[in-house]
Chains A and B, each alone.
Chain A
Amino acid sequence: MKEQSLRFWVVAFAPALVLGLALARLVYLAFWAPEVVFGVQAREIRLEPRRGSILDRNGAVLAMDVPRYRLVLEYLPIAYGGDPRRREAWLNRIDEVLAPFLGFSLREAAAGWPDTWWQFPVARDLPEDVARGVARRVQEAGLRGVRVVPYWARMYPEGALLGPVVGFVVFRPDPEGVERRSGAVGVERAYERDLAGRPVVVRVPVDAEGRPLPLDEAALAEPEPGADIVLTLDRTLQAIVAEELARGLQESRAARGDAVVLNPRTGEILAMVSLPGFDPNHPETLPRDARNPAVQDLYEPGSVFKILTMAAALEAGVVRPESRYLDQGCVEFGGAPICNWDAARYPQGRGWLDMTELLVYSRNVGAAALARMLGPERFYPALHAFGIGERTDVDLPDEAVMRVRAYGDPDWREADMGRQSFGQAVSVTPLQMAVAVSAVANDGLIMRPFVVREVHTAEGVRRTEPQVRRRALSAATARALREMLAAVIEREAVKARVPGYRMAGKTGTAQIPTPFGYDPKGTIASFVGFGPVEDPQVLILVKIDRPQRSPWGSEEAAPVFARIAARILPLLRIRAGE
C-alpha cells in the first residue's frame, strides 16, 4: 500500500508541477502583470486631432481640416497562411469587389507591395462618401484585410487668394520625433500651438487580427481639437485688392507686386496681397522659399519715405507747412551729390517752394535739406519713433528687418543721412512702411499691426485688443501733414484721386540696389495713401516691382491705389465726403 502511494506521488508530481506553474503564471498575468499580455497583443494607436479652422472676419472659411481616407490592405499570415496562391486569391477577391466601385484595379495598385510589408496603402485622399461605399462593400462581401483609415487633410477653399498670409502645413517631426502636420508659413505657423490641438496615444489590446478590444476607458480617449482662429482680414477686400493689383501688374507689365490694407486706428490688417501668390492646397509643389513677401521681403521705399522726414521736421519745429526753401537741381550732402529725380528737366530746380510743394513735387533736394536742418541727433530718433529699423511685432512669422545705418555707427557717413531722407540706403518691408505712415493717419499713434482677431479655444474666446506701440508725432503735426499729403493727390498724383473721397498719399519711385550699385533698368513703383483725410479709416500701400510700361509710382501704383480705394471704401461703409 505504502509502495503504491509512493508510486502515485512520483507519477503525479511532474504533471502537478507543470499545471501548478501554468496556473501560477496565469494568475500572475491576470492580476499582477496584465501589461505583459498587452505588450504582446496590444497596439499603440495615435489619434491625431482635428486642426483648428481659420476664418475671415465675417466667418468665411479660409482653412479647415477635412476628413479623408486611406485604403490599406493588410495581409495577415495568421488568417491566410504564407501561401502565395492564397494571397493571390485574396487579392483577386478584393479586386472583384472593390475595383468596379473605385474605378481602378487594387491588384495593380498593390503591384509594388514588398513581401516584407504586412500592410500596404493602395489609395489615399478618398472623400467621405467613397470611404463609406468601400466600407459597406467590404462588410457586405465579408472581406478581410481591407481597412479604411481616416486622416485629416488641410483644405484652403480660397486657393491662392490668401496663400502667403494664411500659410500652409507640412509634415515634420515634432519634439518627440513623431511626424506630424505643422504650420510652415503665415498664420498656420504663427498660431501653430493654438491650431494644432492635442493628439492622444492609446494602447489597446487587440485580437488575433489586430482589431482593438476596448477594455478600459483609456481606449476611448479622444484627441483635443485645435482652436479656431478668426482673422482681421476680409476675403472680399482681399479679392478686390488682388484683382486690382493683378490688373496693375498686367498693365504695367511687372512681374510682381504687393499691397497692404490696414485700419490705422486699430492696426487691423484688412488685406495683404502678394502676387504672384501660391496655392496652399498643394504644398508639395511650392518652392522652398514660399513666404509672405509683405512681411518678409525688404525694399528701399524711395520717395514715400519723405513723409517721415517731413513729419520729423514739422514735429521738431524746424519748419512749418508754409516754410519755404530754395529748390536746386542738385546739392552736395556729406561729400556726395543729391539730385532731384527731374534734375535733367529742371537743372536749376524749381526755385522757392513751400513744404507742401516739396511733397507735391517730391523733391529729393528738399528732403535732404530737412535732414540737414534736423541734424542726425534728431533725424534718427524720429525714424526710430516711426519704427524704421525694427519689427512691427505683427503676429506673423519671420518678419524681416534691416538695421538702419545711423549716426554713431562706425559705418555711418553723413551722406547716408542725405540719401535716407528720401528713402534710399534704408530698407523696410511693405508692412513696416504702411505702419510707419499709419501714424500720420492716426493722429500720431502707431498701433501694433495684427491679423488674428480672435482665438476660439475650448476655454473661451481670446480677443486681440488694439495696442498702441508708441506716439511717433503729435496729433497737430499729423493733422497738418495729412493736409499736405492731400494736396499731393489733389495737385500732382492725380491718378490716385478717388471719386467722392478726399484722400491723402505719396508716390514713391525707388531704385533697386544690387551688389554693384543701383540697377539702371528697374524701379519699384509704390504709393501709400489713406483716407478720408478728415477721419482716416483705411490705409493702402501698393508696391509694383520693375514695371515695364513706366517706372514711376505716380503712373503705375497710384491708379491701383485709386481703384482699390474706390471699391473698398463703400464696402467698409465709409461715407463719401464730396
Chain B
Amino acid sequence: MSPRRRLALAIAGGMLFGVAWILLFTFLSTAAVEQGQVVQRLSEARAALERENLAVREAIARESALPRLRERARALGFGEAEGVRPLLLSVPVSGPVEGPLP
C-alpha cells in the first residue's frame, strides 16, 4: 500500500472514529436530558402536590380563623353572649372509696 493511500485510510479512519465518538456523545447527552426531564417532571409533580397541600391548609386555616368561625356561627343562628355572668359551681370532689376491690 502506498504511503498516500495509508494516509487517506488513516484520515478516513480518524474521521469515522470522530464521528462515532460525537454520535455517542450526542446520544448520551440526549439520554441525560431526557432523564433530567423525567426527574424534573417528577420534581414538578411533587412541587405541585405540595402546593396543592398548602392550598388545602390555607382553606383549613381560613375556615378555622376566629372571624370566619363567628360568621359561620351567626349563620347557624348563634349569637354573642351579652351580659352573661359565669356561674361558679363548687363541686365536692371525693376520692375512690376505700374497700375491697370487686
Contact = CB atoms under 8 A, between A and B. Distances in A.
Do A and B pair up? The answer is: yes
Interface of A: 23, 30, 50, 60-61, 64-67, 127-129, 150, 155, 157-159, 161, 212-216, 219-220, 222, 235-236, 239, 499-500, 566-567, 570, 576, 578
A127 B66 contact: no
Contacts of B40: 212, 214, 219-220
Contacts of A219: 36, 40
Interface string B57-94: 11001101111100000000000000001101000000
A570 B54 CA distance: 35
A23 B18 CA distance: 10
Contact of A220 (B43, B52, B64): B43
Contact of B51 (A128, A155, A158, A213): A128
A437 B33 CA distance: 68
B10 interface: no
A570 B33 CA distance: 64
B39 interface: yes
Contact of A500 (B25, B64, B86): B86
A161 B36 contact: no
9 contacts: A23-B18, A61-B57, A64-B58, A157-B61, A215-B32, A215-B36, A220-B40, A236-B66, A578-B88
Contact of A127 (B18, B55, B57, B67): B55
Contacts of B37: 213-214
A459 B66 CA distance: 32
Q: Which 5 A-B pairs have the closest CB atoms?
A: A214-B36, A157-B65, A128-B55, A61-B61, A67-B51
A215 B39 contact: no
A239 B66 contact: yes
Interface in B3-37: 18, 25, 32-33, 36-37
Contacts of A155: 58, 61-62
Interface-centre pick from A129, A158, A214 (highest chain B CB count, 10 A): A214
B30 to A, nearest CB: 11
A157 B62 contact: yes
A6 B1 CA distance: 22
A466 B54 CA distance: 33
A220 B51 CA distance: 17
Contacts of B55: 66-67, 127-129
Nearest to B80: A243
Contact of A128 (B52, B67, B68, B85): B52
A31 to B, nearest CB: 9
B25 A64 contact: no
Contacts of A214: 33, 36-37, 39-40
Contacts of A50: 54
Interface of B is mostly: helix
Nearest to B32: A215
A500 B88 contact: yes
Contact of A576 (B64, B66, B88): B88
Contacts of B33: 213-215
B88 A66 contact: no
Contacts of A576: 88
A65 B54 contact: yes
B81 to A, nearest CB: 10
Contacts of B65: 61, 157-159
Contact of B88 (A212, A216, A499): A499
A2 to B, nearest CB: 13
Given A60-B64, A67-B55, 8 more contacts: A159-B65, A214-B39, A216-B36, A220-B40, A500-B86, A500-B88, A567-B86, A576-B88
A286 B54 CA distance: 27
B57 to A, nearest CB: 7
Given A64-B57, A67-B55, A499 B67 contact: no
Nearest to A576: B88
Contacts of B61: 61, 64, 155, 157
A220 B39 contact: yes
Interface-centre pick from B33, B51, B57 (highest chain A CB count, 10 A): B51
Given A66-B54, A157-B61, A212-B40, A235 B66 contact: yes
A209 to B, nearest CB: 15
Contacts of A213: 33, 36-37
A150 B18 CA distance: 45
Given A214-B33, A215-B33, A158 B54 contact: no
Contacts of A500: 86, 88
Contacts of A220: 36, 39-40, 43
Nearest to A30: B25
B58 A161 contact: no
